[in-house]
Amino acid sequence: MVTLKQQLYAWRTVIFALFLRELQSKFNDKFGLSWAFLEPFVFILALSFFRGLLNEGDIHGISLFHFMMIGLVGLQSYTTGIQSVSMSIRKNKPLYAFRQVQPMSAIVTSGFLEVAIKVVVIALLALALYLVGDGISVDNYLLLIVLFSLLWIQCISVGLMFGIAAAFVPEVDKIKSMMMRPLLFISCIFFSLQDIPEEYWPYLTWNPIVHFVELARYACFPKYGSQGVDLAYTVETTAGCLFLALCLYHITWKKVLAR
């Protein structure tokens, strides 16, 4: 009989091996691993900077630059996370010949890699802000960490569901990228929920990213306020997504192998 400890040890070995393999194969060009950090860093920094140039001033007590940056970090984490987690099922297909490697190992590995990359990106952004003397003093670190963890659990769950669906119906990938595109405009990245008339809030607040982004701004700048958004909603959607994704995985993973 295999004990739980051995089981966990085996999982750890496989995930560690996959993680190294991912690192070695993903960043094989001249830029190497640094590209993974540089690209989102430059994207977020440039977009927030130019938005800040367009009109000076602040939004409900946050400078536009910071406002944009928090929003973009949230959205970028979510979309690139879903993208690479859902792709990982198919990308590691040849490896399922080893019975130690299961689709879940691929999911966990790519999720972990994405989190690690985003943590470094955030550190870089914080460092850049500090160096130009425009640093953010975060008011509520605990809330920020909770939000970041929830966001990742949710995003890996959604990625897992998309990945399984795409294993059966490849067209899902096209629909997925179509669904991702409007997220930039409806997730309160360029504007605050508080600037929208209250009767239109229900059209935006179904989207958990809105809650994540607005709460993250609130966690950094308490005077920004948290009208219309709710931490409970992020917890509920995350739990729901995780539950659904694990159920779906449990009933389909053996069939996914044969695809």
**# of chain residues touching other proteins (CB under 8 A):** 22
Q: How far is the CB of 26 from other proteins (least distance, A)?
A: 9
Instruction: State which residue, 1 or 178, has the beta carbon closest to other proteins.
Output: 1
- CB of residue 6 vs other proteins: minimum separation in angstroms? 10
Q: Which two tokens stand for residue 106?
A: 């691929």
What part of residues 62-101 is at the interface with other proteins (CB under 8 A)?
A: 94-101
Q: Which range in 20-28, 74-82, 106-114, 124-132 contacts other proteins by CB under 8 A?
A: 20-28
The rounded distance, in Å, linking the Cα atoms of 19 and 95 is 13
Instruction: Give Rg (Cα) of the chain.
Output: 20
Our CB check for other proteins shows the closer of 100 and 227 to be: 100
End-to-end CA distance of the chain: 30
Give CA–CA dist 23/46, Å, rounded. 27
The residue (of 21 and 250) whose beta carbon lies closer to other proteins is 21
Per the listing, tokens 């802000």 go with 129
Q: Does the protein bind other proteins through residue 127 (CB under 8 A)?
A: no
User: 62-65, long-range: CB within 8 Å, 24+ apart, which pairs?
Assistant: 62/217, 62/220, 62/221, 62/224, 63/134, 65/134
Residues in region 235-254 near other proteins by CB under 8 A: 254
Cβ atoms of 232 and 140 within 8 Å: the answer is no
Contact status: 5 vs other proteins (CB under 8 A): no
Integer Cα distance of 210 and 228 in angstroms: 10
Question: CB under 8 A: which stretch of 15-23, 76-84, 133-141, 152-160 binds other proteins?
Answer: 15-23
In the complex, the residues that contact other proteins under the rule CB under 8 A are 10, 13-14, 16-18, 20-21, 24-25, 28, 94-101, 254, 257-258
